[in-house]
């Protein structure tokens, strides 16, 4: 008992200020490493070979039944990633009206070794919130106890029914000529903090920023993405992960459901992950019913094609400044006749545009090509004047040569990228980022 009291005292002394994230309010551990992998908030303390870890998941997408919510989260967060055995959750004291369940199991996961994984889930109406706690020494128990004692969840009170969404995203504001709203391909487009939204004839398409699959977590891919996107902006009334059926319109990893917007209007919702090269681009479609979604997009792949509409007009005020990008590749070569090693082939290029507010520009381009030990370098520098109107950029260099480019601002996480493509020499195209 004395040892446990000392552990608890040390834990209490290591905790700092009150913080809020998603549905949670808690006392944050001071001195712990804080990470935000897609859709989660994590705290990690490492001392030599010993570690304690606390992870919070984004709330939303619950079934309304605490036992079922726990079993599903246990499978997704503990069994699949760690190989722990199935655990029947035990009922725990409620937190702010949220029903709670708790379970724990030993894990042996190379190369981490042996540790204990504990999960606490909280259910309130259609919402679920989960806290995952991993640790490989007794001192973690004290830390976890202090954290859980400080924990509060917003939207509590079972008598109030399903809680309203935590996040109410606002559109990105314009100013200085920045374009954040435009009609593109007949759709009304608008840029928000976490997604681009397009509306037409009662149908809404939300394109969220790319999410690495390394950050999505184990379990049903679409359902995890649903919680990271839809459940943050809407009240979820029904959620149905789709099974792997290549013949069905609602494809594998998709999620169908019914949500309620901030005005109380109910909408059919469909999420498709848009998978490419280890990255998910979640597309969410909202309409009055599933039939409207299928009429608007007769083939589900047409939803993915909506990414082409993320191409907003460019204003002079937003273009002014320095934009840059670089690309590179390398490959090992072998002689087909002998199989002997033929060297490392390298190709790299960079381009830098400085669009001055007075209408002049400077372009500097560099390229490297060849094999190691036999590389050739080229460089180019141009100056002249520039003009931009909507989606057309005209460059007139100091020798009088005129080049026209198709251009657009592509909304991305944290800002916009400038996409330009020569109207004649279409292979000359760049995605440039604003230089800091």
337 with 196, same domain: the answer is: no
DSSP 178: -
Q: What pLDDT shows up at residue 9? A: 35
Asked if residue 172 is part of any domain, the answer here is: no
Most confident of 26-30, 52-56, 77-81, 202-206: 202-206
pLDDT over 90, % of the chain: 31
pLDDT of 248 strictly over 70: no
Q: What pLDDT shows up at residue 11? A: 38
60 with 95, same domain: the answer is: yes
Structural domain boundaries enclosing 26 = 2-160
pLDDT over 70, % of the chain: 84
Structure tokens at 412: 């991305």
77 contact partners, CB below 8 Å, separation of at least 6: 57, 119, 130, 132, 217, 218, 219
Instruction: From 212, 211, 210, 435, select the one nearest 326 (Cα to Cα).
Output: 435
Asked if residue 66 is part of any domain, the answer here is: yes
- What's the pLDDT tens digit per position in 381-431? 999 999 999 899 999 999 999 999 999 999 987 788 999 999 999 888 889
255 with 327, same domain: the answer is: no
- Report the number of distinct structural domains present in the chain: 3
Read off the CATH number of the domain in which 18 is found.
3.40.1000.10
What is the rounded distance in angstroms from the CA atom of residue 192 to the CA atom of residue 208? 9
Angle at 163 between CA 162 and CA 168, to 5 degrees: 135
What is the rounded distance in angstroms from the CA atom of residue 158 to the CA atom of residue 272? 32
Q: What pLDDT shows up at residue 252? A: 60
Structure tokens at 266: 């109910």
Asked if residue 165 is part of any domain, the answer here is: no
Q: What pLDDT shows up at residue 113? A: 83
Structure tokens at 109: 């996961």
Cis peptide before 373 (omega within 30 of 0): no
| Stretch 320-347: mean pLDDT | 76
278 with 321, same domain: the answer is: no
Question: Helix (H, G, I), strand (E, B), or coil: what is residue 343?
Answer: strand
Asked if residue 423 is part of any domain, the answer here is: yes
pLDDT of 19 strictly over 60: yes
- What's the pLDDT tens digit per position in 124-181? 876 788 999 999 888 888 888 888 888 888 753 222 233 333 344 556 655 455 788 9
Boundary of a domain, candidates 309, 324, 358? 309
251 with 151, same domain: the answer is: no
57 with 152, same domain: the answer is: yes
What is the rounded distance in angstroms from the CA atom of residue 189 to the CA atom of residue 309? 8
Q: What pLDDT shows up at residue 107? A: 86
**Alpha helix (H) residue ranges in 265-407:** 290-296, 301-304, 316-319
Query: Which long-range contacts (C-beta less than 8 Å, at least 24 apart) are formed by 348-352?
Result: 350/324, 350/325, 350/326, 351/324, 351/325, 351/326, 351/430, 351/432, 352/322, 352/323, 352/324, 352/435
What is the rounded distance in angstroms from the CA atom of residue 186 to the CA atom of residue 208? 20
Boundary of a domain, candidates 276, 309, 342? 309
Chain mean pLDDT for the chain: 81
Cβ proximity of 393 and 407 under 8 Å: yes
Boundary of a domain, candidates 309, 333, 368? 309
């Amino acid at each position: 008992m004395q040892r446990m009291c000392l552990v608890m005292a040390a834990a209490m002394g290591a905790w700092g200020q009150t913080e809020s994230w998603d549905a949670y309010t808690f006392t944050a551990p001071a001195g712990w490493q804080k990470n935000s992998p897609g859709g989660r908030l994590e705290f990690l303390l490492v001392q030599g070979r010993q570690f304690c870890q606390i992870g919070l998941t984004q709330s939303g997408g619950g079934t309304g039944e605490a036992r079922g919510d726990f079993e599903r989260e246990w499978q997704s967060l503990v069994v699949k990633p760690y190989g722990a055995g199935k655990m029947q959750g035990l009922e725990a004291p409620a937190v702010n009206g949220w029903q709670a369940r708790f379970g724990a199991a030993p894990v042996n996961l190379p190369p981490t070794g042996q540790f204990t994984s504990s999960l606490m889930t909280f259910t309130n109406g259609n919402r679920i919130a989960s806290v995952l706690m991993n640790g490989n020494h007794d001192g973690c128990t004290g830390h976890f106890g202090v954290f859980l004692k400080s924990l509060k969840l917003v939207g509590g009170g079972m008598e109030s029914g399903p809680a309203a969404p935590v996040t109410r995203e606002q559109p990105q504001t314009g100013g200085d000529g920045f374009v954040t709203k435009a009609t593109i391909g007949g759709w009304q487009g608008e840029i928000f903090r976490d997604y681009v939204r397009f509306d037409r004839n009662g149908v809404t398409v939300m394109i969220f920023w790319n999410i690495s699959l390394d950050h999505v977590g184990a379990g049903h891919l679409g359902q995890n993405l649903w919680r990271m996107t839809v459940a943050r902006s809407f009240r979820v009334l029904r959620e149905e992960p789709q099974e792997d059926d290549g013949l069905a319109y609602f494809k594998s990893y998709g999620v169908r459901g019914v949500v309620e917007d901030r005005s109380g209007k109910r909408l059919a919702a469909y999420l498709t992950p848009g998978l490419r090269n280890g990255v998910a681009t979640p597309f969410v479609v909202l309409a009055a019913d599933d039939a409207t979604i299928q009429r608007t997009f007769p083939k589900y792949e047409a939803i993915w094609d909506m990414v082409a509409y993320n191409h907003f007009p460019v204003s002079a005020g937003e273009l002014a400044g320095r934009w840059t990008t670089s690309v590179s590749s390398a490959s090992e070569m072998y002689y087909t006749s002998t199989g002997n090693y033929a060297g490392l082939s390298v190709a790299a290029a960079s381009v830098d545009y400085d669009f001055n507010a007075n209408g002049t520009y400077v372009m500097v381009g560099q390229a490297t090509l060849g094999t190691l030990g036999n590389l050739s370098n080229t460089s180019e520098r141009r100056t002249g004047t520039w003009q931009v109107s909507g989606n057309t950029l005209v460059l007139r260099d100091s020798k009088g040569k005129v080049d026209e480019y198709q251009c657009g601002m592509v909304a991305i996480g944290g800002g916009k990228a400038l996409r330009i493509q020569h109207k004649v020499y279409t292979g000359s195209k760049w995605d440039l980022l604003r230089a800091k």
